A = this chain, B = another copy of it.
């Protein structure tokens, strides 16, 4: 009986995400979101509540899409140490090839809003915990099979890796220079040896 929605929510979130990612929350108007998504105002408000609701959903969408993309693109069969290398090199490549220099949407959201918006801050904390847990599993594996030094606790190393990725994203946004980013990764990952 009811008319079905004429759009795919995922596709809409993808388009909204791209605008927010590039321009930030406060730098993006509903007008731009209407144009970017192709939806009408009523459909946006009916589906997402308001601008803030759309932003939160876009950010969650981004976070989940990032995780999925990683699992797909990460070559299988790599040792834990090589997996970490690949991960960092991958992020260098992304920084060097994004013509818009958008950086990381989660990081941008954090610096723009986390201190004033609890729901955004919670997403940032969740993301941090998730990334640390991922690194932790890789490092524990590496320390178990002797590929990674046991000089530091796995937890400390995983925090260090997450820290480096954050820095890398900021610097890649400021000045995407190959040799700079590679210097950083080389030194940063040397603590694993």
Which positions in A face B, CB cutoff 8 Å? 22-24, 26-27, 100-103, 107-108, 110-112, 114-116, 121, 124-125, 128, 151-153, 155-157, 159-160, 162-168, 170-171, 173-175, 180, 183-184, 186-188, 190-191
| Distance in Å: Cβ of A89 to nearest Cβ of chain B | 15
| Distance in Å: Cβ of A171 to nearest Cβ of chain B | 6
Complex A-B: 8 CB contacts under 8 Å? A22-B115, A100-B115, A102-B115, A107-B170, A156-B186, A157-B187, A166-B170, A167-B170
Q: In the complex, A174→B165 CA distance in Å?
A: 14
- Establish whether residues A112 and B24, one from each chain, have CB atoms under 8 Å apart when the complex forms: yes
Residue ID in chain B nearest A100 by CB atoms: B115
Residue ID in chain B nearest A184 by CB atoms: B163
- Establish whether residues A112 and B108, one from each chain, have CB atoms under 8 Å apart when the complex forms: yes
Residue ID in chain B nearest A109 by CB atoms: B111
| Distance in Å: Cβ of A192 to nearest Cβ of chain B | 10
Which residues of B are found within 8 Å of A170, using beta-carbon distances? 107, 110-111, 166-167, 170
Q: Which residue among A23, A101, A159, A184 has the maximum number of chain B CB atoms within 10 Å of its CB?
A: A159
